[in-house]
Amino acid sequence: MDATTPTVLPAIHDTFGAVFIGVLVAGALWGVTCMQTYEYFEHNTSDRWILKSLVTIVFVSDTFHQALMSHTIYTYLVTNYFDPTYLIKVVWSLVAELLASGVVSLIAQGFFAWRVWILSRGRKGMAVVTLLVCLVLGNFTVTIVYFVRALNTSTFIELRNLSTLSRALNTIGVVADVAITMAMIWLLHSMKTGFHRSNQIISRLILFSLSTGLLTTLCALMCLISISVWPNTLIFIGFYACLSRRKYLYLFSAY
């Protein structure tokens, strides 16, 4: 090839460009989680050790997830720059992100299911809590299955064969997020009294729970829509990159 002939690289706006944007947004949200983690340990010194351990585990998993995403995008866009053939390969950190995100989701959603059980005063919310637990465990189980299957892939063409499993994962995630949000709203609404001031406070908590849950649900829903509408792109990974962070922020809405 003549030295003056420019090297033509494939357009990657809707593939690694989308992943790059997702990593940038997730990085910004990770900064928020750092601040919230600091605020938690600064102002909740009397909390039980199990809650502090839970926050620590989730923060470490979230940080690990951010590191994996950074490694992924650096490998594709920097380490293997000018090597278009590498763009079809699945780097190990991209698959490992699934496990880190699954752990964050399991703890965050499981914690909310536990709160629903406590706030519903036991037997009153048994059916609701059972449904939430099944959804949370189902979501984590499908994540593990997808992770194990993805470990055996080496290219995005092979990974695309798992699209049905990916849709199932995002569908269960959307249903779980909606169920958790509705359960929290139901509990808060049942706590309303005849006093205007207390009802006003509860209404604000309901609005806060709705807005927080809506963001998480919207992110999971966009993952599902993008992988269904644009199956030959990586736009869904851009949304998925932010989903773990939204779960972490969702967890802190409980405090």
| Distance, CA of 176 to CA of 250 (rounded, Å) | 13
Report pLDDT for 79: 93
- Give me the pLDDT at residue 166, please: 86
* pLDDT reported for residue 111: 83
What is the pLDDT at residue 222? 86
- Give the pair of three-digit tokens for residue 8: 């033509």
Q: Which helix (H) or strand (E) holds 13?
A: none
Question: Could you give the angle at the alpha carbon of 147 between the alpha carbons of 143 and 150, nearest 5°?
Answer: 135
CA 12 to chain centroid: 24
In-domain check, residue 243: yes
Nearest 10 degrees: Cα torsion 167, 173, 179, 185? -130
Whole-number pLDDT of residue 251:
59
- Residue 7 in domain: no
In a domain, 4, yes or no: no
Amino acid at 143: T
Residue 6 belongs to some domain of the structure: no
Q: Where are the alpha helices (DSSP H) in the chain?
A: 16-43, 49-74, 92-119, 126-151, 156-159, 163-190, 196-229, 235-252
Of the candidates 146, 106, 149, the one whose C-alpha atom is nearest the C-alpha of residue 244 is 106
Furthest-apart CA atoms within the chain: distance in Å: 83
Does residue 31 form part of some domain?
yes
In a domain, 130, yes or no: yes
- Splitting the chain (255 residues) into consecutive groups of 10 residues, what average pLDDT does each group show? 56 87 90 86 85 87 91 93 87 91 85 80 73 91 93 88 87 85 78 68 70 73 86 85 67 54
Tell me, yes or no, whether 42 lies in a domain: yes
pLDDT of residue 130: 87
Question: What total number of domains does the chain contain?
Answer: 1
What span, in angstroms and rounded, lies between the C-alpha atoms of 11 and 13? Answer: 6
Identify whether the C-beta of residue 229 lies closer than 8 Å to the C-beta of residue 249. no
CATH of the domain at 126: 1.20.1070
Q: Give the whole-angstrom CA distance, residue 124 versus residue 128.
A: 9
Could you tell me if 169 and 135 are in contact, meaning their C-beta atoms sit under 8 angstroms apart? no
Residue-range definition of the domain harbouring residue 230: 16-252
Neighbour-count burial of 113, counting CB atoms closer than 10 A to its CB (0-12 exposed, 13-18 middle, 19+ buried) = buried
pTM above 0.75, yes or no: yes
Q: Residue written as tokens 């951010």?
A: 66
* Residue 5 domain-assigned (yes or no): no
